[in-house]
Amino acid sequence: MLTKRIIPCLDVTLDEAGGTVVKGIEFVNLKKAGDPVELAKRYNEQGADELVFLDITASHEKRSTMIDVIERTADEVFIPLTVGGGVSSVDHIRQILRAGADKVAVNTAAVKNPELVREAADIFGSQCIVAAVDCKRNTDVENNPDKTILTLEDGTPAWYEVVIYGGRKRTGLDTVQWAHKLQEMGAGEILLTSMDRDGTYDGFDIPITNKLSLELEIPIIASGGVGNPEHIYDGFVSGKADAALAASIFHFGEYTIPEVKEYLKSKGIPVRI
């Protein structure tokens, strides 16, 4: 088994301070969690394997990602940094990489213009392009016979619908079919966020995580719902994810990255300590 990655996520919004890390539930009711650069430094020192920086209101506000905050963050961390939010063109991806990011996550723009993923992968390499997929459970299976129907924990059949603009807009796209297309177009990995679990502390959305992990050849980063180290263990064992992304448990000091890694190691999960 390959080493599993633990990735703190910095959800950032633009404010008078220039950028603040926030955390909410299902992408709303946001509360402040701190300065992005200071948090990034802390996680770098604690032994995070990577960092994800998401400008979560950029697409909705129709503006570019905060380049200055990326530059300041990149100056302080020495682990891979993925940046996303409001990424809409190859030129924008180039700006973000020049600012110090190692990878760029595309989400809303990829849904609106799928060729962006192919073009970006051709220019910068698949290893630089992370396809961020936000999804929501949809139990209307009768009217969607062409969708990939999965069985939820309680036995309910459902399909997973791709949502964009920070979860504000449904697309009608089937998450499994969309993920296959993203892989074909050259995405290097998929950052999968379950909107139903985001900020809930209920654990990862295992049915969709497991489905994509087993069907795709590229790595799946599970995101949304971590409340304790057991949830991360479940994401790796039941969800078959390659990496686990978490925010609240780290931002608000409930657990440190070393504590999570020691727990995983004790359970036989290979992690970098």
Tokens 């633009």 belong to 14
242 catalytic per annotation: no
Cα angle 7-12-18, degrees, rounded to a multiple of 5: 135
Residue 242 is which amino acid?
D
Q: Out of 134, 205, 234, 242, pick the active-site residue.
A: 134
The strand ranges marked E within 107-219 are 129-138, 150-151, 157-164, 169-174, 189-194
Q: Answer whether 271's CB lies under 8 Å from 265's CB.
A: yes
In angstroms, the CA 93 to CA 246 distance is: 24
11 catalytic per annotation: yes
Q: How many helices (H) and strands (E) does the chain have?
A: 10, 13
The strand ranges marked E within the chain are 5-13, 20-25, 28-34, 51-55, 81-84, 103-106, 129-138, 150-151, 157-164, 169-174, 189-194, 220-223, 243-246
Tokens 């993920």 belong to 179
Any residues with CB less than 8 A from the CB of 8 and at least 6 apart, and which?
39, 43, 48, 51, 52, 245, 246, 247, 250, 251, 257
- As annotated, the active-site residues are 11, 134
